[in-house]
Amino acid sequence: MDPAVLRDDMVDSLEHEAKAVVRSETVSVAMREVPREPFVDDEAAAYADRSSERYGTRVLSPSAAGRLLEALAVDPDDDVLVVGCGVGYTAAVIAEIVGEANVQAIDITRRLVYEARSNLERAGYPGVLVDRRDGARGLPDYAPYDRILLEAAAIEPPRALLNQLAPEGRLVMPRGTGTQELVAVEGEEAVAEFGTVAFQPMLVEGEQADTVERNRTHREDREHARRAAERRKGWEQSWIDWDDRL
């Protein structure tokens, strides 16, 4: 079947009241234009509304991408930074709205940077800049940005990203750890919430998804110790002297 017809069917389903994910004409038109085949491994399932894995990262389902794009609310000619761009699909849709030259994208995983560049070129958006950077530090070279999209979860918006926003700018991100809320931040305050989501946590140096075997960071060691302690039964707790109790 013609991919353009499949894209129309996909967006129609996202606009239907059963999902009501895509609401604006801007996002609707852009998602109908951008092919998904370059961004997924299984071309036959490119327009199915489900996520997939590629090179250690999750390829967002059309529904998840639509929710991010609606929350971001980009306008034509906005300057946009996509943090944690993964395989590049959302960056392509944003480029369709604002123009390739106005989109910069970064990812901490080098292999994904190469993949995103290749995918974007095959999809028809070679002008999107994709660079390898630590997402928590952003990309100050092209700041300020009217919109910043963080495609990974964090407890709070990274300070560097807030500093790179234009005065009337907006940052959209999944906020939280276990339970995450998709929020839009303007200034330093969350001005809107868009429901619960489930995204992978934002990685820092040493945690890249494409490493065969990566060293655990101190942060991970603390988290593993905390979870192990919470799983213990009473008799496993080291602070209880069971000999004195017998």
Q: What is the pLDDT of residue 235?
A: 44
Amino acid identity for residue 177 in this structure: T
Q: What is the pLDDT of residue 236?
A: 43
Which tokens hold the place of 194?
């868009």
| pLDDT > 70 fraction of the chain, expressed in percent and rounded | 83
Q: Where are the domains of the chain?
A: 3-232
Which tokens hold the place of 163?
């500093």
Q: What is the pLDDT of residue 237?
A: 47
Please, where are the H alpha helices in 81-217?
89-98, 110-123, 159-163
Contact 147, 169 (CB under 8 A): yes
Mean pLDDT score, 190-194: 91
Amino acid identity for residue 48 in this structure: A
Only one residue has tokens 């958006």, namely: 125
Q: What is the pLDDT of residues 134-151, one digit of tens each?
A: 999 999 999 999 999 999
Q: Distance between CA 41 and CA 19 in Å, rounded?
A: 25
No. of helices (H) and no. of strands (E), the chain: 8, 9
DSSP state of 135: G
Distances (CA, A) of 131 to 40, 106, 142, 163, 228: 20, 5, 12, 19, 37
Please, where are the H alpha helices in the chain?
3-15, 25-33, 62-72, 89-98, 110-123, 159-163, 218-231, 242-245
Highest mean pLDDT among 112-121, 202-211, 233-242: 112-121
Only one residue has tokens 């761009």, namely: 85
pTM across the whole model: 0.82
Helix (H, G, I), strand (E, B) or coil at 187: coil
Q: Distance between CA 83 and CA 133 in Å, rounded?
A: 9
Mean pLDDT score, 96-115: 96
In CATH terms, 3-232 corresponds, of 3.40.30.10, 3.40.309.10, 3.40.50.1820, 3.40.50.150, to: 3.40.50.150
Which has the minimum average pLDDT: 3-7, 28-32, 97-101?
3-7
Helix axes 3-15, 25-33, angle to 10 degrees: 150
Q: What is the pLDDT of residue 230?
A: 62
Q: What is the pLDDT of residue 234?
A: 47
